[in-house]
Amino acid sequence: MSTGARAITDPSTRDAEAPADATLDAFLAGVGPRAFRFAEAGLRHREDAMDAVQEAMMKMLAYRERPAEEWTPLFWSILRSRIIDVQRRRTFRLGWLGGSPPAGGEDASLDWADDGPDPSRAHDGREAYGRLLAALRELPRRQREAFTLRVLEEFDVADTARIMKCSEGSVKTHLSRARAALQRQLEDFA
C-alpha cells in the first residue's frame, strides 16, 4: 500500500537530505496496514476498504510539502472522510434502487493467514478478532471511530478529536459509550 517508490523501514536512520517523496512513502507504508483495518471495520467490505485507503494515500501526495508532524492527523481525516463518502454513496444507491444493505457486508468472510505454531491458539485469536469486528460493526459510526482510533490505533485524545472533527469531550463520550457497549456484547465470550 505504498505509493510505489522506495519504502524506508527505520525513520531514525533516514538521511536528513532525503526527498519529501521518500519520507512520505515511508509514512504511507507504515500507516497502510492500520488504515486498511480501520477502513475495513467502517466499510465492511475488503475491496472498498482498499480503494478508500489508496485514494486517501493519493490525496496525501498533494500535502507532501507539509511538515511531517501534520501528516498523521491529516491522513486519518482524509481517510475518515473517504469512508463516510463511500457509506453515503452506498446508502443513496441502495435507497435509489430500493434495496437494503447485506447483513454482514457484501463479503463478510475474513482472509486469515495462519502462520502461528499452535492451530488452536490461532483459531481462538481469529474467533476473538471476528467477534470484536462483529461487535464493532454494531456500534454507531462515531463510537466505532472513537474506539478504533483511541484503543486500536492508540492515538491520543487531541489527535482523535482532530481526525473525527469534534471536541475532545465528544471523543471521550463516544469512547466511553463504545467501551460499555462492547463490554455488554462481548462479556459472554470471555
- Residue 187 reports pLDDT greater than 70: yes
Contact 66, 45 (CB under 8 A): no
- Among the residue ranges 127-131, 150-154, 168-172, the one predicted with the least confidence is 127-131
Contacts of 103 (CB under 8 A, 6+ apart): none
Average pLDDT for 22-39: 90
How far is it, in rounded angstroms, from Cα 152 to Cα 166?
19
Q: Coil, strand or helix: which one is 105? A: strand
Contact 27, 78 (CB under 8 A): no
103 bridge partner residues? 105
Strand ranges in 34-173 using DSSP code E only, listed in sequence order: none
Q: For residue 54, what pLDDT is reported?
A: 93
105 bridge partner residues? 103
How far is it, in rounded angstroms, from Cα 190 to Cα 186?
7
Contact 73, 159 (CB under 8 A): yes
Confidence of residue 129 (pLDDT cuts 50, 70, 90): confident
CATH code: domain 119-190 is 1.10.10.10
Burial class of residue 1 (count of CB atoms within 10 Å of its CB; 0-12, 13-18, 19+): middle
Average pLDDT for 166-188: 91
- Among the residue ranges 57-66, 117-126, 161-170, the one predicted with the least confidence is 117-126
Confidence of residue 57 (pLDDT cuts 50, 70, 90): very high
**In the chain, where are the structural domains located?**
1-100, 119-190
- Among the residue ranges 89-93, 119-123, 181-185, the one predicted with the least confidence is 119-123
Look-up of cell digits 475495513 = 40
Contact 139, 186 (CB under 8 A): no
